[in-house]
């Protein structure tokens, strides 16, 4: 295992995408567990999905901060594509650690709205790298995606695999982030770690994700569409496991070293963060419906068969995602482990409390 070489205590930590699903959970976790920490959240709070959920997450962070007065929470509304705003943020707060989770998410959305992905995922990430160059940081941790594996047929997916066959623009932008980070690490010795997340889910998640969208449709009595006729597998990863993975990685910055030419050997790492247990979509739907009934979101006699439709694969989708998390476990001593039923149970209970109160 790699020993931690950073402490988060008394650090100023920038979390971009702080109103997002993973970002909000990370911000709360840092405020709850670290000592003397200042968490600076940055997010444009766009309307890609229900802004009410994003505002609710921010309120939960504020409650957490109020309960931990020794730590500070600062939130700034801004857009990563605004270079001046990003520079001003770094200039004022001088973060020691940056966790860049801000991005335009969604595979299918990228097919019809490519410009949004270039603005947020490419230009925005470039602005973060430039700021890290001008105002040096101890560690840049950034979100990549399992989507970079594209049409790879070898499973489980390993960070040693080639990822040159993206099947969506979203995947291509995430691969570009990894390449940009590598180049800046080489040129400017910025310790950087990329994290390839696998189908993150949980309470107060993204409404565009399957488990959330399915629930919305079932509550409204609409049909849910199960792609590839149900012959897909996804490595569903509970959000608390993702947050713990981020924290374990963040305190282990890649070491700076020079090569024989006297120039920096890029201080970079890549990890998969996934549950390493792909679930068949039909099994996933069965567990979801059972937990929705248990939580009282749906009635016990709900006719699921009449509300399911098996349809062909959609453009940009892949049949299987499956994370090899051996390097994560070897280096940090942690691997995601939350069973799907446990995670969906917590989601169903949150859904009832949030929407059906």
Asked if the structure places residue 267 within a domain, the reply is yes
Which residues, in sequence order, are CB contacts of 242 under 8 Å at separation 6+? Answer: 22, 25, 197, 200, 273, 336
Q: Determine, yes or no, domain membership for 266.
A: yes
CB 122 within 8 A of CB 171: no
Q: What is the CATH number of the domain that holds 22?
A: 3.40.50.720
Please give the share of the chain, as a percent, with pLDDT higher than 90: 82
Each residue of 104-135: pLDDT tens digit?
887 777 778 889 999 999 999 999 999 999 99
Q: Do the domain assignments include residue 230? A: no
DSSP one-letter string for 257-288: EE-TTSSEEP-EEEEEE--S--EEHHHHHHHH
Enzyme catalytic residues: 170
**What proportions of the chain, in percent to the nearest 5, are helix, strand and coil?**
45, 15, 40
pLDDT-based confidence at residue 310 (cuts at 50, 70, 90): confident
Position 316 scores a pLDDT of 60
Residue 222 inside a domain? The answer is no
**Token pair for 3:** 């020993």
Q: Which of 57-61, 82-86, 226-230 has the lowest mean pLDDT?
A: 226-230
- Full residue range of the structural domain in which residue 65 is found: 12-198+239-276+322-337
Would you give the distance in Å from CA 60 to the centre of its chain? 18
CA-to-CA distance for 137 and 128, rounded, in angstroms? 11
Which pLDDT belongs to residue 229? 66
Please provide the distance, in angstroms rounded to a whole number, between the alpha carbons at the two ends of the chain. 46
> Which tokens hold the place of 64?
């957490």
- Whether 317 is covered by a domain: the verdict is no
> Is residue 38 one of the residues assigned to a domain?
yes
pLDDT tens-digit readout, 207-259:
999 999 999 999 999 999 888 767 788 999 999 999 999 999 999 999 999 98
Residue 177 domain-assigned (yes or no): yes
Structure tokens at 209: 């994700």
As given in the structure block, the two tokens for residue 291 are 């937990």
Instruction: Tell me if 316 is assigned to some domain.
Output: no
> Which of the residue ranges 3-12, 184-193, 231-240, 306-315 would you say has the lowest mean pLDDT?
306-315
pLDDT tens digits along 160-200: 999 998 988 999 999 999 999 999 999 999 999 999 999 99
Q: What is the mean pLDDT of residues 26-55?
A: 97
Q: Give pLDDT tens digits for 261-295.
A: 888 899 999 999 999 999 999 999 999 999 999 99
Average pLDDT in the chain: 94
Q: Report d(CA 76, CA 66) in Å as an integer.
A: 17
- Mean pLDDT across the stretch 46-74? 97
Q: What is the pTM of this model?
A: 0.95
Number of folded domains that form the chain: 1
Predicted pLDDT of residue 143: 98
| Residue 207 near residue 213 (C-beta atoms within 8 A) | yes
């Amino acid at each position: 295992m790699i020993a931690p070489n950073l402490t988060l205590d008394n650090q100023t930590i920038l979390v971009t995408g702080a109103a997002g699903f993973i970002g909000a959970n990370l911000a709360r976790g840092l405020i709850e567990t670290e000592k003397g920490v200042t968490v600076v959240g940055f997010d444009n709070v766009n309307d890609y999905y229900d802004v009410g959920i994003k505002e609710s997450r921010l309120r939960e962070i504020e409650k957490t901060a109020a309960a931990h007065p020794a730590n500070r929470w600062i939130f700034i509304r801004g857009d990563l594509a605004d270079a001046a705003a990003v520079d001003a943020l770094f200039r004022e707060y001088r973060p020691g650690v940056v966790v860049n989770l801000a991005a335009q998410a969604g595979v299918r959305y990228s097919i019809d709205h490519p410009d949004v992905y270039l603005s947020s995922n490419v230009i925005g990430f470039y602005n973060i790298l430039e700021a890290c160059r001008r105002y040096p940081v101890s560690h840049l941790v950034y979100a990549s995606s399992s989507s970079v594996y594209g049409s790879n047929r070898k499973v489980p997916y390993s960070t040693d695999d080639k990822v040159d066959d993206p099947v969506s623009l979203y995947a291509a932008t995430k691969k570009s982030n990894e390449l940009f980070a590598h180049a800046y690490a080489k040129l400017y010795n910025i310790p950087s770690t990329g994290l390839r997340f696998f189908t993150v889910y949980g309470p107060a998640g993204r409404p565009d994700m399957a488990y959330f969208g399915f629930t919305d449709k079932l509550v409204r009595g609409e049909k849910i569409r199960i792609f590839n006729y149900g012959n897909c597998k996804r490595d569903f990863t509970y959000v608390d496991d993702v947050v713990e993975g981020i924290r374990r990685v963040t305190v282990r910055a890649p070491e700076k070293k020079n090569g024989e030419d006297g120039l920096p050997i890029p201080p970079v790492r890549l990890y998969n963060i996934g549950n390493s247990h792909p679930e068949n979509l039909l099994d996933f739907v069965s567990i979801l419906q059972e937990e929705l009934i248990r939580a009282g979101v749906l009635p016990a006699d709900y006719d699921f068969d009449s509300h399911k439709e098996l349809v062909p694969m959609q453009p940009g989708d892949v049949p299987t995602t499956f994370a090899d998390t051996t390097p994560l476990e070897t280096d940090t001593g942690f691997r995601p482990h939350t069973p799907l039923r446990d995670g969906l149970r917590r989601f169903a209970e949150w859904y009832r409390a949030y929407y059906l109160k």
